[in-house]
Amino acid sequence: MRMWWQGLRLVAAALIVAALAAQAQVTIGGAIDGGRDVATTTVNFFSFFTVISNLLAALVLVWAGVRGLTTGRKDPLEPRALAVALACVTTYMIVTGVVYNTLLRGIPLPQGTTVAWANEVLHVVGPVFLLLDLLFAPGRRRLAWGTIGGVLVFPLAWVVYTLVRGPLTVNPANGEEWWYPYPFVNPHNFANGYGTVSLYIVGIAVGIALVALFTVWVGRRRAR
């Protein structure tokens, strides 16, 4: 099981990269064809939490898969750095899947034409695989509970980046003087503006912390 699971990790990483490339081609290519601001469109594309999470997940899965097929043969236990990285991307991907399928499915996102199969890979297949990896991948390392704090660093940084950049970015698709990757972080969508956005952010932050807690707990039990 140990060796073929590493192969599955590499296949999952390749599928995620293919989905990101397909969506990027449509989004950025559409900006080129439509004469829109390509630089801003590109930065916007890589400002989605989904895109960043999937990109990080693919990198970590490649790291884990290659390590498992090489040095992992002699030392099956994950090194701590890899275990922390897996805990982070697993949390982000599970949250991506839950948020998209509960809040965003069916809502057209401001990233251009959505590639249907790529959208499912990024929001369903990838998150499900990372959950299965958490539950069944061999060689799990027991992590300290303090790891949860480290897992939260990127989401918090992303929120700050998004809220600071949003009002400073002109939407290249429609000319609005702001751009936000998701409706629930756009204060212009709510009568209470940032008040409602803050409630969404707090709720999602609590959700991320709970998923991180679950991820570390499962790893600790499996390592035991």
Q: Which domain holds residue 218?
A: 2-223
When divided into structural domains, the chain yields a total of: 1
Q: Convert the pLDDT of each residue in 54-90 to its tens digit.
A: 999 999 999 999 999 998 677 788 999 999 999 999 9
Inter-residue contact 88 to 134 (CB < 8 Å): no
Q: Convert the pLDDT of each residue in 23-44 to its tens digit.
A: 999 999 989 988 999 999 999 9
Structural tokens at position 14: 């390749």
Q: Closest by alpha carbon to 165, among 182, 151, 179, 185?
A: 179
Please tell me what DSSP assigns to residue 48. Answer: S
Distances (CA, A) of 51 to 5, 20, 47, 116: 24, 7, 7, 15
Q: Closest by alpha carbon to 115, among 207, 206, 51?
A: 51
* DSSP 3-state percent helix, strand, coil across the chain (nearest 5): 75, 0, 25
State pTM to two decimals.
Answer: 0.94
Please tell me what DSSP assigns to residue 142. Answer: P
CA 37 to centroid of chain Cα atoms: 25
